[in-house]
Structures are given as C-alpha cells and as structure tokens.
Structure 1
C-alpha cells in the first residue's frame, strides 16, 4: 500500500484544531520514533526508512515496526509503507541492532490524530508538534494502491484546502532532517 500523504506548516493551529474537532474525536498521543540504517547509510541512500515507533496514549502503549520504501510520487514524497505491531519494543530494537542496523536518530512527536471519511476515502489527519522543531504541522494521508496515488493526493489536497491550507504551505521537509539540523545548530552530540 502507498501512504498518499501531504504535510503542511500550519499558521493557525487552533483554528485547524477546532475544524478537526468538528469532524472527529482526537486521539492525543506521543510518539517516540527511532530511525535505523545500515552502518554504510545505504537505506537513506536508497530513500528508504526503517523505524520503531512507540506510541503512548490514553488507550495505552503500542509499538510498531515500519519500513518505508523509495518515493513513488516526487511532488509529495509518498512512499510504499509496510508496518506491523510488535509486542516488545526493547526486543524490536535489539533485533535491529543484532542484525547490524544502527540508530540514526530518535525524537518525540506530539500528535492529535483524527480519522474521518472525506471524498470517499478514509483519511487520517494529524496535527504534529516536535519539541525540537519550530511550528505546527498538519499531515493528511490515506492508504491506496499505487495506481490510485495521483487521485488520492488530489483528494488529500482538497481536504487540506478545506482547512485553509494551500499549496504554498506544503513541505517535503522531514522531521528527521529538521531535528538533526536543530541538534547540529545547538551542538548536540549523538550518543553513537
């Protein structure tokens, strides 16, 4: 499946949150994301991602292992995504390290997730704050077969427009890149 997703900087987060609250009940969660690569950086060079995400929310804690393959839509950065829930977060980290992967970066995301139907699709909208990065972001995504990516992204753009988000607000900047840049500016030294 392709995660047809667009991400935008939000200039009026309270207004967008009110609109989302009218559509669905928010799931407020904190993500702890840890990204891995091979020692030679070959996953990043191939535009792939390997992540362990532990989600803390009112419904408890869950951990998912995610692999994202190379981008299939350059304008949005949409990628094929393979994800599975794992029972033991520490075991997942240990397995990846034992297989030779190294931790590249870990950080926290504070999220308000909303699931709703729009334009005939199940959409997930997430308001995101990353404590190390300035600003609030809105991600809107839907899962589709690769052949539907273009149509799905058109629908995602329409949903964003309904929240007052225009094409000038869209960004392909990654949280991993933004966090790494902020840490470099602040002199943060990685534990590796």
Structure 2
C-alpha cells in the first residue's frame, strides 16, 4: 500500500496489506461514486520495477521485491517494498514491509549487489481516494496500466494478520458502496498481466 505510514498505530506482528481488486465495467459510474464518497482524489503515476533472483525464485514463491517511484502533485517519492506470499487465494492480501528510499539509484545498486536483478518494469496511472470505514483507513484506487485494456479498482487497508477477516470485510463494504459486484473481482496480478501482454506482442 503506497500511502505514507508512520508506523505509530501499526499492530504487533506482521503487517498485512488487505486488498481486493476488481475489473471496472462502468468507469464513469465508479468515478462518480468515488467522488461522492471521498472527493476528487489524487492523481499519481507509479513507476514500478520488480526485482528477482536470476532463478526467478521470488516470483515462483509468490513473493515480490519492488522499487516504486510515485509522481504526483506533491512531487516524487520512492518506496522499497517486500511482499510475502498471499495469505489466501481470493484476495491479494499479503504480509508487507515498506520503507521510504531517499536515493533510488543507491537502492537499486544495493539490490544489484545482493544478487537481485530487474525482472519487470511498468507504469500504473492511479487516482487515489483515501476514506475511512468501520474505524479503518482505506484507500480506493482507480488504476489504468497503459499496456492493459480496461480500468481496475483496488480497495485496500493495512492490518495485523489476526485482523485480516475484519479488514477484508471493510474492503468488501467499500466495493459494495461503489456498486462493484463480487463477480468482478480478479486475483490476477498486474505483473502477470503485463508479462502476458508483452508475450503476445513480442515485447520484453
């Protein structure tokens, strides 16, 4: 989850990103509902580079090591994120650790020195809408990836591992408010979708 975290209210144990992702069938309607619920939102571009070991063992184990630069009205910031394997097959909920990076080139050099190599890089064009439900801070994000067809909606929050069912219930509640049915949920990762699209087009 990209919004800044100061860790002051973080629960003990592993921090989990509780997230559900959906294909948006009617982008105009969802945009209007989001605006009504949470204001105009914040437009940002995410430039993501995913790293892996040469044998691809992180991807095979459903783990992610990502360097992300976010550019928006407030300027740019870079985050280094580690995500462990997802905790269930329905949601994108993964244990996550994330930290701000002051020197992106330096961070990339450290990763290279540790044996990691860039495996995939792409952009996400996002409009982020922070909101609060059931005592939780959530983020609803409309996403477009230039290489993919369609618009996606991510709704996520941060929780402790033992809070995951309640956190996902709050996420599902926001999706319902936005008129997004469970049938439109997708568990396909952007990394998989982009890699497949490049494979079909002969890109790299």
TM-score, normalised relative to structure 1: 0.95
Give the stretch that moved more between structures: 11-20 or 101-110: 11-20
Match of 1:187 in 2: 202
Runs (5+) with no aligned partner, structure 2: 1-14
Q: Which runs of 4+ in 1 moved over 6 A?
A: none
Is the 8 Å Cα contact of residues 89 and 187 (structure 2) preserved in structure 1? no
Give the distance between the partners of 1:103 and 1:171, measured in 2 at CA.
Answer: 26
Residue in structure 1 matching 2:26, options 12, 23, 33: 12
CA deviation map 1:7-66 (0-9, x unaligned): 000011111111111222411000000000111111112211000000010100000000
CA RMSD of superposed structures (Å): 1.0
Match of 2:155 in 1: 140
Residue in structure 1 matching 2:121, options 106, 125, 128: 106
**Corresponding residue SS for 2:81:** strand
Runs (5+) with no aligned partner, structure 1: none
**Corresponding residue SS for 1:53:** strand
The alignment of Structure 1 onto Structure 2 pairs a total of residues equal to: 189
Is the 8 Å Cα contact of residues 81 and 97 (structure 2) preserved in structure 1? yes
Residue in structure 1 matching 2:179, options 164, 184, 192: 164
